[in-house]
Amino acid sequence: MTVALKQENIITEIGPGDLFHSWFSTVATKLENGNWGIKYPITMNILYQGKLTLTDANEALIELNEIREKFKDLSPDDLIWDTENPNKKPPKEIEFNKNAKNLANYYKTINGLNLTDEMVENVESIIEYGGTIDVISYHGQPPIF
Which residues lie across from 53 on neighbouring strands?
132
What is the pairing mode between strands 132-138 and 51-53? Answer: antiparallel
φ and ψ at residue 6, rounded to 5 degrees: -120, 125
d(CA 45, CA 104): 21
Domain annotation covers residue 144: no
pTM, 2 dp? 0.94
Domain that holds residue 129: 2-138
Domain annotation covers residue 78: yes
Spans in the chain with pLDDT lower than 70: 142-145
**Exposed (0-12), middle (13-18) or buried (19+): which is 10, by Cβ within 10 Å?**
middle
Domain count of the fold of the chain:
1
Domain annotation covers residue 80: yes
pLDDT number for residue 139: 83
pLDDT number for residue 86: 86
